[in-house]
Amino acid sequence: MVHVIGGGLAGSEAAWQTAELGVDVVVHEMRPVRKTAVHQTDGLAELVCSNSFRGDTLDNAVGLLKEEMRQLGSLVMRAADRARVPAGAALAVDRHAFSRLVTEEVASHRRITVAREEIQRVPGMDSGWSPVIIATGPLTSDALSADIQCIVGAEHLAFYDAISPIVLADSIDMSKVFRASRWDRNVWQAPAGTDAHPPAPGGDYLNCPFTKDEYSAFYDALVAAESATVRDFDAVTFFEGCLPIEVMAHRGRDTLRFGPMKPVGLTDPRTGRYPYAVVQLRQDTLAGDHFSLVGFQTQIKWGDQARVLRMIPGLEHAEFVRFGMVHRNTYICGPKVLAPTWQTRFRDDLFFAGQVSGVEGYVESAASGLLAGRNAAALALGHAPRALPRTTAMGALAHYVSHADPAHYQPSNITHGIMEPLPDAPRDKARRRALIAARALDDLREWMGEAALSGR
């Protein structure tokens, strides 16, 4: 039997993969027995930050990672595809529908038991729990976090993530915004078997355009706003891919205009030109009644948030379903602790998966859980765990986590830069990425065939 500690994206995927390979699983999830600062439900795989799984085409690395997971029967990807909402060339989901689908699938699987309890210590070799997958996510409880630190030593690190606000659709002034996807990239299709509302004509995003004067006033208010006090902020480190908007703003007056507020690819139909700056709103629910502010994670105090964010054109009377907030993200130094199979180097039957293992991003977390689950099942069945080739996105991610420079380690999203380079790669970027994707899927199919022949 395999024990999975944590019922987030990685834990749910790990449990599903293990069970599908014929091994019994117990998922130990501490909610609702012990709550966290940011979770709002007791559902499995609850998304607490963005509702976006990022790009969903094979010309980007995370799109390739998704396709590899689909090929391997990923529960997370199946649920995400069914809970899809309009998001241009990205995959975004109704977070409540997504969590409900994952929870129902995991809870109803005949080989999976869900135990609602807090695990405060890493089960030892003498506990009778083997194999064990720790997939407790960025909000690992203090007790378990301390025990993990005792096991892995000073390599146990932490940084802070910030969460974007969500507004009620009916409170958006539609006369001041326009619909468009950047560069007109609209690929959304209604998920099968749902009553999802299709996007209105024009594009998948609502865009709030700024004039130069409006941007200047907004910027001044933003940098003057008071940030919330976060406990344990002795040495605050934010993940570069998820910086609060006010942190970015303090780097320079135009930083936001080249980041989350960049106007390129978004022509305002009323002027025929790009705005000076723009804030994009992405549909957050299948019903289209909630929208999240894209890339607008923040740690500003809620009173100031309401005041500053209502300076965004179209949001003057916005009603906030959720304000932005900050949460701790705990992770280990993978290169000193993990093998590319997601096993620990010091104990073969102990795995780490998800953000606590040192990856960043929803898809990356689920992907690590997928391979950890398959390898834990292999171990339980008396087989040797196997790593994926580095030519695949999943294999490249595992290689990065286990082989990066430990002295300067920071969690990473999947990128083409960490994948094995093509020999004699063409100069054309589109052609190069197409060849990388084709090679990855070919090598994945070969790996899956070898696994099938060996009974794994």
C-alpha dist (Å) from residue 423 to 94, 190, 387, 420, 444: 41, 39, 22, 9, 18
Tally the C-alpha atoms within 13 A of residue 422's C-alpha that lie toward its C-beta: 17
Q: How far apart (Å, rounded) are the C-alpha atoms in residues 93 and 284?
A: 7
What's the whole-number mean pLDDT along residues 359-371? 95
Query: How confident is the model at residue 391, as a pLDDT?
Result: 97
What's the whole-number mean pLDDT along residues 280-306? 91
DSSP calls for 9-56 = HHHHHHHHHHHHTT--EEEEE-TTTS--SS--SS-TT---S-SEEEE-
pLDDT in tens, 297-314: 898 998 999 999 999 999
Stronger pLDDT, 76 or 415, i.e. the higher one? 76
Asked if residue 99 lies in contact with residue 88, where contact means CB atoms within 8 angstroms, the answer is no
Q: Looking at 192-346, which runs of residues are DSSP E strands?
A: 205-210, 277-283, 290-293, 320-322, 325-332, 343-344
pLDDT level of residue 237 (50, 70, 90 thresholds): low
User: What is the b/e burial string over 12-41, where b = at least 16 CB atoms within 10 angstroms of the residue's CB?
Assistant: bbbbbbbbbbebebbbbbbbeeeebebbee
pLDDT in tens, 112-163: 999 999 999 999 988 999 999 999 987 888 899 889 988 887 666 666 677 8
Residue 455 pLDDT > 60, yes or no? no
Query: How confident is the model at residue 107, as a pLDDT?
Result: 97
Query: How confident is the model at residue 310, as a pLDDT?
Result: 97
Q: Looking at 265-368, which runs of residues are DSSP E strands?
A: 277-283, 290-293, 320-322, 325-332, 343-344, 347-352
Q: Choose the weakest-confidence range: 104-113, 180-189, 292-301, 413-422.
A: 180-189
Query: How confident is the model at residue 157, as a pLDDT?
Result: 66
Domain ranges for the chain:
2-162+329-453, 165-323
Stronger pLDDT, 286 or 165, i.e. the higher one? 165
SS3 246: helix
What phi, psi does 115 have (nearest 5°)? -110, 120
Query: How confident is the model at residue 190, as a pLDDT?
Result: 55
Residue 229 pLDDT > 60, yes or no? no
The pairing of strands 132-134 and 2-5 is parallel
Query: How confident is the model at residue 76, as a pLDDT?
Result: 98
**Fold (topology level) of 2-162+329-453:** FAD/NAD(P)-binding domain (3.50.50)
pLDDT level of residue 240 (50, 70, 90 thresholds): low
Query: How confident is the model at residue 206, as a pLDDT?
Result: 96
**Tokens matching residue 55:** 């790009």
**Tokens matching residue 368:** 């690590």
**Tokens matching residue 263:** 């106007």
Q: Which amino acid is at 126?
A: D
Tell me: cis bond preceding 269? Omega within 30 of 0 counts: no
Question: Would you tell me which CATH number, out of the four given (2.40.10, 2.160.20, 2.40.30, 1.10.10), belongs to the domain 165-323?
Answer: 2.40.30
Q: How far apart (Å, rounded) are the C-alpha atoms in residues 2 and 377?
A: 7
Residue 271 burial class via C-beta count within 10 angstroms: exposed 0-12, middle 13-18, buried 19 and up: exposed
- For residue 190, how many other CB atoms are within 10 A of its CB? 14
In sequence order, the β-bridge partners of residue 28 are: 5, 115
What's the whole-number mean pLDDT along residues 206-216? 97
**Pick from 330, 438, 353, 261: which is nearest to 37 by CA?**
330
